[in-house]
Structures are given as C-alpha cells and as structure tokens.
Amino acid sequence: MGFKGRRARSFQVVEFWPESKADSANLICSRILLMRPSELLTRNRDSIRQLVLQFGMANPRVFGSVLSGQDSEESDLDLLVDPSPETSLLDIAKLKIAIETATGITVDLLTPKFLPLAYRDKVLSEAVPV
C-alpha cells in the first residue's frame, strides 16, 4: 500500500492507495489529523531552523499563542527572525512560503523592526528560540 501526505493549515491529510492493479479499485482512503501548530512545530523544528539559515537569516523564535500554550487547530505560528543586512522583503516572503510548505502551518513571519511598537518590547523579551 502506498503513502502520501500533504498538509494544509493546521492539519495533515494522509492518503493510502493500493500499489498493484490486483489491489486496485482506485481505492483511496483519507484520514484528516487535526493538529495544533505547537504539535507541528515540535515535529518541524529542525526544518524551520535549516530554512532560516538557508535564506540567510538567523535566530528563529516563537511568540504568540503557540508560546503561551493557547493555540488551537485554527491558530497560526508566529515566528520572529533576525534578517541579515542583505535581506529583502522578498526574501522574508520566500522564507514564509518555504516554512509553510515544509510544515503545513500557516505562518506569521516577522522581524524585530516589523513588530508593532505597542508590543515590540514584550514580544522580544518573551520570544523563545525554535
């Protein structure tokens, strides 16, 4: 039996299908596994760290509902990264998409300068390394 998984938002869809024609009747069984972003983060920490480095940024940190333990299946993952002097807004957007694709989590990716002033100091003091 074959296996294929794809993720969207905070859940994972797992499909199983027969490998041989003898088993076939084009049977596909799907099972949706609802997961909180904090659960998906635990499984994808290394991937996120590698992607941040690959895109020339550093120090990925978590903040928001995932950090406080108040996330749900509908929550996004709030990440903070330190850009290099050469990092463009396009680089940040590409990293956001790469993390979402690799993890299946909707990501809100910010840098310290893009945090709203009203809560910048609080987020910077509470954010935890990925």
What's the alpha-carbon Rg for the chain, to the nearest Å? 18
Predicted model pTM:
0.73
What residue spans in the chain does CATH classification 3.30.460.10 cover? 37-129
User: How many other CB atoms sit within 10 Å of the CB of residue 25?
Assistant: 7
How much is the pLDDT for 15?
Answer: 53
Residue 49 vs residue 75, higher pLDDT: 49
CATH homologous superfamily, domain 37-129: Beta Polymerase, domain 2 (3.30.460.10)
> How does pLDDT run across 70-95, given as a tens digit for each residue?
988 888 999 999 999 999 999 999 99
Whether 6 has a pLDDT exceeding 50, the answer reads no
- Classify residue 19 by its DSSP letter: S
Q: Residue 116: pLDDT band by 50, 70, 90 thresholds?
A: very high
The rounded Cα 65 to chain-centroid distance in angstroms is 14
How much is the pLDDT for 4?
Answer: 42
Residues 9, 106 contacting (CB under 8 angstroms): yes
